[in-house]
Amino acid sequence: MKEFDPTIERSDKALIIKKQDDLLKDTIKYVLENSAFYQDHFKVNKLNVEDINSISELNKIPPISKKDLQSRNKDFWCAPAKQIVDYCNTSGTEGQPVTIPLTKSDLDRLAYNEAISLACAEGSDEDIYQLSTTIDRRFMAGLAYAQGVIALGAGLVRVGPAPAELQWLNIKELNPTTLIIVPSFLVKLIDYAERNHIDYQNSSIKKAVCIGESIRDDNLKLNALGSRIKEKWDIELFSTYASTEMGTAFTECKFGRGGHEHPELIITEIIDEEGNNVKDGEFGELTITTLGVEGMPLIRFRTGDICRKFTDPCSCGRTTSRLGPLLGRKNQMIKFKGTTIYPPAIFNVLDNQEFISLYCIEVYSDELGNDQIRVRFSAERNFDLKVLKEQFSVNIRATPMLIEESFEDLYRIIHPKNSRKPVKYFDFRK
Ligand SMILES: [Zn+2]
């Protein structure tokens, strides 16, 4: 395993920058020796290895996008097949999936990343983690969590995305302390426990690492989903954000003030449309440069995720910057009735309605080319449509078209064949 020093996360800012400058230089040298894509990218932009000596010079390199990864996937690979131990891929919800090969060292890096992330979320070798996400189907996250739990020296219960009944049976048998779980599934676990008289409030579970969906709003307060869980079940909730391309997680500490960055693993920038860095605390597109990656390192990759960065010190003593919750995906921005909306804001309104059991959002263009929103939902009991409409007008200042569906029909739509996760957002715009 490579030497990464977690004490860096509580170091002086100047020391963090110095460390990142050194790792960045190694990365640039490495990709120019091994990646056909970056060799071309530097050539086309008339750049040489000696032009980039520090993070402050990073913006000389034009950022790259998911399209580059899709069109020239293998030109990003830096290690021969003999050195690859695992082939992950992206989910492909935005077109062609991208394959990310991992070397043994990358797998160790992933384990280290997740171990220090879980430790940041109050984890230790005293914990037992119940993992409710898939570990197969080339999914990096599941593998990362499993490796991280093992590296942390904690216990692992690999239940996977099994029904609520099985989750509870495992909790009863093995007394895990922590769930690694999609928060909307956590709501389902609570519902199941209530229906089946399981004393969940006195179970062994003390905390949950919430993956895939945000539990906080833009101001870092618990959103509807987070509040709904917390009101019923007073366990500690930790938000985490990650992606396959980054191979790095941003996980909250117990103060819940954004996901802590691991500066020895990644460089983050928040940039505007023109590629310039925005001010700290302002929204922009997260752009990343991975550090210490062998299989498929990335330099200035535009993630498409809109979020903001906090650089003020955190109460936990870490000096690293933190990423706020995602406002949304850049290409999911909806211009609707004079306002700009990202899907998570609509999810938040729907998550706040206890009678809604399932929902999805469809965005399409009307005959004038304007964005329109259709919300399809299933309800558990009778409700007042007027109230739901009001909720939309109060929270997002516009009311989408609302269509009630049967649970079964909607379930089929939200769980398309071969998808590793439920799909709540469909974009039919031209
Ligand atoms: Zn903190």
pLDDT in tens, 151-190: 999 999 999 999 999 999 999 999 999 999 999 899 999 9
Backbone angles phi, psi at 378, to 5 degrees: -120, 140
Structural domain spans, the chain: 1-327, 333-427
- The CA 219 to ligand 1 mean position distance, Å, reads 16
Strands (E), 187-228: 207-210
Centre of ligand 1 from the C-alpha of residue 320, in Å: 8
Cα(321) to centroid(ligand 1), Å: 9
With a CB cutoff of 8 Å and minimum separation 6, the contacts of 86 are: 101, 102, 107, 143
Which amino acid would we find at residue 419? Answer: S
Residue 395 CA to ligand 1 centre (angstroms): 29
CA of 117 to the centre of ligand 1 (A): 11
| CA–CA distances in Å: residue 268 to residues 2, 10, 55, 286 | 21, 17, 10, 7
State the pLDDT at residue 1.
34
Look up residue 330 and give its two tokens.
């850049």
- Tally the residues of the chain: 430
The pLDDT of residue 419 is: 76
Instruction: Output the CA 162–ligand 1 centroid distance in Å.
Output: 32
pLDDT at 4: 38
Q: How remote is the CA of residue 212 from the centroid of ligand 1, in Å?
A: 20
Taking a 5 Å cut-off on Cβ, the residues next to ion ligand 1 are 253, 255, 314, 316, 318
Q: 1-327 adopts what CATH topology?
A: Rossmann fold (3.40.50)
Q: Name the stretches of the chain with pLDDT < 50.
A: 1-5
Q: Reduce the secondary structure of 378-411 to three states and give it as a string.
A: EECCCCCHHHHHHHHHHHCCCCCEEEECCHHHHH
Q: Mention every residue, 6+ apart, whose C-beta is less than 8 A from residue 339.
A: 396, 397, 398
> How much distance in Å is there from the Cα of 208 to the middle of ligand 1?
17
Superfamily of domain 333-427: ANL, C-terminal domain (3.30.300.30)
According to DSSP, residue 126 is labeled T
Q: Are 300 and 287 in contact (CB under 8 A)?
A: yes
User: What is the predicted pLDDT for the residue at 338?
Assistant: 86
pLDDT of residue 418: 74
Q: According to the model, what pLDDT value does residue 92 have?
A: 74
Task: Give me ligand 1 centre to Cα 83, in Å.
Answer: 36
